[in-house]
Chain A
């Protein structure tokens, strides 16, 4: 029988994504002032991160900026053990690393980000964490390196 063949193609495409005013403002505050901003829904009062055009629950346009703190509460966590491609580098991220859904103080949504801790015994839902920032901010969410337990008290539950 004839040997089967595979035809190879490599895709190299690039895109330029437009941000609109809401993301531009979020990034400006993050980069220039090290502040995090959310948008509050005029109907349900939910504070959204990331900022966006409308609250999907209410189909209401958003325009009221609210300052959100860079501290928050862990609502979910995991330790990743397999190499997953880091979209910022295109390379697999060294394992193991901690990851969490963090509800920032003042926000109603959670933020998916890295944890400084990768020992599951030292993590729990409800623990308080603080953002650790990169020295030179470039204007991306990656300017937050990861979140670390507040005051080195890993078991410090939210009040």
Chain B
């Protein structure tokens, strides 16, 4: 694929912000990304936003942020999912030739509601929801299949992240050279929770586009979405193989995505990768996941 330049990145901190509105929080991240790219909103052709209605307590939750993402009388697509998926879609629309400069924004305030209550509503209503499953309970099941202790609940976190993508750049910026995303099966009983075929598929697609034959050799470092502590090890083993787990998890960053809000985490991983690639050259992998036990998986490969 034609490389996509990452012109700028911006994010808020992820401390709980009970008094801050979603538009103001998103505005801070967008302003930071524009400043980082040295652009104004007039330079942006289109936006892809990522948010989740039930977490925001708002129907069509991107309505609240229309103005702060500059979408008035402008194109916007809104992905109801993780911000890394929104970044992939933004890159697709640039590859399509639809837009030159795309702003990608993700937000969530997990302090607003009851995550355990909300995530119960991600399970199918007929067989699994009545069991009282939620993300924490499902992750405890997943941890037990790995013979690990039950995971700690996710910390409450609020924040927004933004990146600006373009097909061309006047400066040498880190560029997105591969991406892939996939959905796993839904019913926990249908899945081998010690594995993630969706992540393997997402990575395969990303490696193919990036011409990576041997990820263990070619990937310099990795930023993983580890909403629960055991997940870092699991995703690393799926990506790089269980036999050499230790060697290859060493490539995973010490910067955890724990404490980054859901739906922001994947985009935050991409920002982390970009910031590091501005200091050292290499080929890095950013990972995002969403849904019960990481049912949805996305991988982006960035090179500098």
Which residues of A line the B interface, CB within 8 A? 7, 9, 11-20, 22-24, 52-57, 59
Contact = CB atoms under 8 A, between A and B. Distances in A.
B23 A7 contact: no
Contacts of B111: 16
B172 interface: no
B96 interface: no
Contacts of A24: 19
Contact of B17 (A7, A13, A18, A52): A18
A11 B121 contact: yes
> What 9 pairs between A and B have smallest CB-CB spacing?
A56-B67, A15-B57, A56-B72, A20-B21, A20-B24, A59-B41, A15-B113, A15-B112, A18-B20
Given A12-B117, A13-B114, A18-B21, 7 more contacts: A7-B125, A13-B57, A14-B113, A18-B17, A24-B19, A55-B67, A56-B72
B129 interface: yes
Contacts of B205: none
Contacts of B20: 18, 20
Interface in B67-121: 67-68, 70-73, 109, 111-114, 117-118, 121
Contacts of B250: none
B19 A17 contact: no
B130 A7 contact: yes
A55 B111 CA distance: 27
Contact of B18 (A9, A18, A57): A18
A142 to B, nearest CB: 19
Interface residues on B, range: 20 to 34
Contacts of B57: 13, 15, 17
A18 B111 CA distance: 10
B126 interface: yes
Contacts, number: 68
B66 interface: yes
B67 A52 contact: yes
A117 B114 CA distance: 41
A20 B27 CA distance: 12
Contacts of A11: 121
A14 B21 contact: no
19 contacts: A7-B126, A7-B130, A11-B121, A13-B113, A13-B114, A13-B118, A14-B114, A15-B112, A17-B21, A17-B57, A17-B112, A18-B18, A18-B20, A19-B21, A20-B20, A20-B23, A52-B23, A53-B24, A53-B27
B68 A53 contact: yes
Given A7-B126, A13-B54, A16-B112, A54 B19 contact: no
Contacts of B114: 13-14
B72 A53 contact: no
Contacts of A52: 23, 67
Contact of B67 (A12, A14, A54): A54
Given A13-B54, A17-B57, A54 B17 contact: no
A54 B109 contact: no
Contacts of B71: 56
